[in-house]
């Protein structure tokens, strides 16, 4: 396979800082405490149902985040892309995207303050508020992009040929924004699955997710081998997902 030279710098960067550590981690995941080859780290993950529990719990949070952000971002992107114009559009875009530029840690602390003022405490609800807030722009942007690409006359055409509002949404707008929906949903799903900062800061006792688990295994528990094995499983899972997505979006956007 020939790697075009324009992507070479990126490939080197990724090789050094992502793929190399990944291989080292893979190596460690098969090492016992004395440095011998073993499958114990993986078996430990299977034997103790707590691990599986945490993984499933993280998936539930990720799916929930994806569904809520999709439901919020979709109509918003329709409004901003197709109805708002001029000044209103610029202001709305700025308002929607500003949180994106601010670091997640600062945002989480800000949310914490608000949550306390409205009488909530750390827990599932607070965590979900934080997650939705964090991932909304990531869901919004690709959908907004595909929404903007729909030509005005395609919508005019649908209307003239007899489409009522429901037909218009079902037969034109949703299918034409499908690439954006797929891209946004998968980005949010995959990124939120290993989110660490928000669950730890806002989740309280409900905040123990894959991210926290890996953190615990490496830094508090001293269980490097098991941590490495878990990281491997999650990363491989995400990579498989990423390949499926790349292929699917390739198909969908190939109009």
Partner 1 sequence: MKGVEVYVEGITKKYGSTTALDGVTLRIPPSEITTLLGPSGCGKTTLLKIIAGLEPPTKGRVYFDGRDVTNLAPEKRNIGFVFQDLALFPHLNVFENVAFGLRVRRVPEAEVKKRVYWALDLVGLDPSEFARRRIHELSGGQQQRVAIARALVIEPAVLLLDEPFAHLDYKIKQRLLLQLKRIQRETGATVVYVTHDQNEAMAVSHKIAVMNNGKILQVGSPEEVYEKPNSSFVASFFGEANVLPGEGGFIVIRPERVLINPDRADTVYDAYIEDVVFQGPLLHIEARVNGKIIKIIKPRNGMVVKPGDKVRIGWLQKDVRVVPE
Question: Residues interacting with partner 1, by CB under 8 A?
Answer: 151, 153-154, 156-164, 167, 171-172, 175-176, 178, 255
Nearer to partner 1, 151 or 205 (CB): 151
Nearest approach in angstroms of CB 239 to partner 1 is 29
Nearer to partner 1, 104 or 150 (CB): 150
Nearest approach in angstroms of CB 82 to partner 1 is 14
Contacts of 184 (CB under 8 A, 6+ apart): 69, 70, 73, 138, 139, 140, 141, 142, 143
Nearer to partner 1, 6 or 254 (CB): 254
Backbone angles phi and psi of 84, in degrees to 5 = -65, 150
Would you say 20 and 26 are in contact if contact means Cβ atoms under 8 Å apart?
no
The three-state (H, E, C) secondary structure of 91-115, written as one string = HHHHHHHHHHHCCHHHHHHHHHHHH
Nearest approach in angstroms of CB 243 to partner 1 is 24
Nearest approach in angstroms of CB 79 to partner 1 is 20
Nearest approach in angstroms of CB 104 to partner 1 is 36
Nearest approach in angstroms of CB 148 to partner 1 is 15
Nearest approach in angstroms of CB 170 to partner 1 is 10
């Amino acid at each position: 396979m020939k790697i075009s030279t324009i992507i070479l710098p990126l490939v080197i960067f990724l090789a050094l800082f992502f793929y190399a550590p990944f291989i080292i981690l893979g190596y460690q995941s098969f090492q016992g405490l004395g440095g011998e080859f073993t499958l114990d780290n993986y078996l430990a993950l299977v034997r103790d149902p707590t691990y599986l529990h945490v993984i499933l719990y993280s998936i539930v949070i990720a799916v929930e985040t994806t569904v809520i952000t999709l439901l919020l971002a979709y109509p918003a992107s329709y409004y901003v892309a197709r109805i708002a114009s001029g000044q209103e559009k610029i202001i709305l875009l700025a308002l929607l995207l500003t949180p994106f530029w601010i670091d997640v840690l600062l945002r989480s602390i800000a949310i914490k303050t608000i949550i306390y003022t409205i009488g909530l405490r750390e827990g599932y609800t607070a965590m979900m508020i934080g997650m939705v807030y964090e991932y909304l722009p990531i869901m919004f942007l690709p959908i907004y992009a595909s929404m903007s690409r729909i030509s005005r006359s395609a919508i005019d055409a649908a209307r003239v040929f007899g489409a009522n509002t429901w037909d218009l949404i079902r037969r034109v707008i949703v299918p034409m924004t499908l690439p954006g929906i797929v891209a946004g949903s998968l980005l949010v799903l995959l990124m939120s699955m290993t989110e660490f900062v928000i669950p730890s800061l806002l989740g309280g006792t409900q905040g123990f997710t894959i991210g926290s688990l890996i953190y615990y295994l490496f830094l508090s528990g001293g269980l490097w081998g098991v941590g490495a094995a878990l990281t491997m499983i999650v990363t491989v899972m995400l990579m498989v997902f990423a390949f499926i997505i790349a292929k699917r979006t390739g198909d969908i956007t190939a109009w």
